Amino acid sequence: MTTDTFTPQEELQRAARSRKLITYLIVFAIVMFFAGLTSAYVVSMSGGYWTRITLPTAFVYSTVFIALGSGTVHLALLAGRKGDNRMAALWLAVTLVLGLGFTWSQFQGWKDLVAKGIHWSPNRLTQLKGTYGTDYVFQKDGVDLILENGNFYRPTDVEGARPLNAEIDEQKDRTGPYLYALTVLHLAHLAFGLLSLLVMLMMALGGKYSPEDHAGLWAGAFYWHFLGILWVYLLLFLWFVH
């Protein structure tokens, strides 16, 4: 009976391949999860009343934070590949701060939604606050309704013969719960990214990365890039489809 032995270099290569495979599987699972959520969102919009909500400006700031973080974590990876742990730690620390900035801007966005009467638990449409046409618009079967003299009409009802207020009084906002679900669940996944950044920062401060051994840094950077791409997808989805 023979036993296969591997050199330290081969062991590192095997560990790196395993780390990459696990990272790809995690990313694939998250992609499928959010694909299901956005598909359910589209199906829910297919008929009846829907609310088209103007997205908070804070979500744009979130995009800036996570885009900059994607750049700084890549710089950290480049430094780690060279064995420059000091610069890797510096860029990881900057990425961590940007990640916290993203988290802060998400809470600011939710605060803005709450101020408009948009909650996780759906309110009645008549309880929404803000300016109609600017902050939100009601839709009926995919068509924006017109507000005139306190009454809502279909655009084709030019004579104002059939106001829809009685129907609207019975409807609840279905957009808000989806909006919260998508953004909160993304932030939940980002929390793991922040934790991984903290671990990588400790590793870099301990001088653990080298040109031969930086698989953990690669996995964390790849995951952070993915979170940025996922956020941009969600923002564009909400901006155009929502």
Q: What is the pLDDT of residues 87-99, one digit of tens each?
A: 999 999 999 999 9
What's the whole-number mean pLDDT along residues 171-183?
90
Query: In the chain, how many domains are there?
Result: 1
pLDDT digits (tens, 9 = 90+) for 222-232: 999 999 999 99
pLDDT of residue 48: 82
pLDDT of residue 1: 45
Per-residue b or e along 130-146, where b marks 16 or more CB atoms closer than 10 Å to that residue's CB: eeeeebbbbebeeeebb
pLDDT at 152 over 60: yes
SS (H, E, C) 92-151: HHHHHHHHHHHHHHHHHHHHHHHHCCCCCCCCEHHHCCCCECCCEEEEECCEECEEECCE
pLDDT of residue 193: 95
Of the pLDDT bands very low, low, confident and very high (cuts 50, 70, 90), residue 164 is very high
The token pair at 195 is 């934790």
pLDDT of residue 2: 47
Residues in the chain: 242
Three-state DSSP class for residue 7: coil
pLDDT at 238 over 60: yes
- Axis-axis angle for helices 58-81, 85-115 (nearest 10): 170
Residue 76 falls inside a structural domain:
yes
Residue 227 falls inside a structural domain:
yes
Residue 3 falls inside a structural domain:
no
The distance of Cα 70 from the centroid of its chain, to the nearest Å, equals: 14
- The DSSP code sequence of 169-221 is HT-B--HHHHHHHHHHHHHHHHHHHHHHHHHHHHHHHTT---SS--HHHHHHH
Q: Domain range for residue 201?
A: 9-240
Residue 1 falls inside a structural domain:
no
CA–CA dist 199, 204 (Å, integer): 9
Residue whose tokens read 């062991």: 11
What's the whole-number mean pLDDT along residues 104-131?
90
The pTM (predicted TM-score) of the whole model is 0.89
Residue 229 falls inside a structural domain:
yes
pLDDT of residue 172: 87
Residue 4 falls inside a structural domain:
no
- List of residues 6+ apart from 148 with CB closer than 8 A: 160
What's the whole-number mean pLDDT along residues 128-154?
90
Residue 193 falls inside a structural domain:
yes
Of the pLDDT bands very low, low, confident and very high (cuts 50, 70, 90), residue 158 is confident
Residue 147 falls inside a structural domain:
yes
pLDDT of residue 6: 65
For 84, other C-beta atoms within 10 Å of its C-beta total 18
Q: 113: buried, middle or exposed (CB in 10 Å: 19+, 13-18, 0-12)?
A: buried
pLDDT of residue 242: 64
Q: Is the pLDDT higher at 147 or at 242?
A: 147
What are the beta bridge partners of residue 153?
146
218 half-sphere exposure, CB direction, 13 A CA radius: 18
- Name the least confident of 43-52, 69-78, 197-206: 43-52
CATH of the domain at 218: 1.20.120.80
Residue 155's alpha-carbon distances to 51, 114, 127, 140, 148, in angstroms, are 16, 29, 23, 10, 11
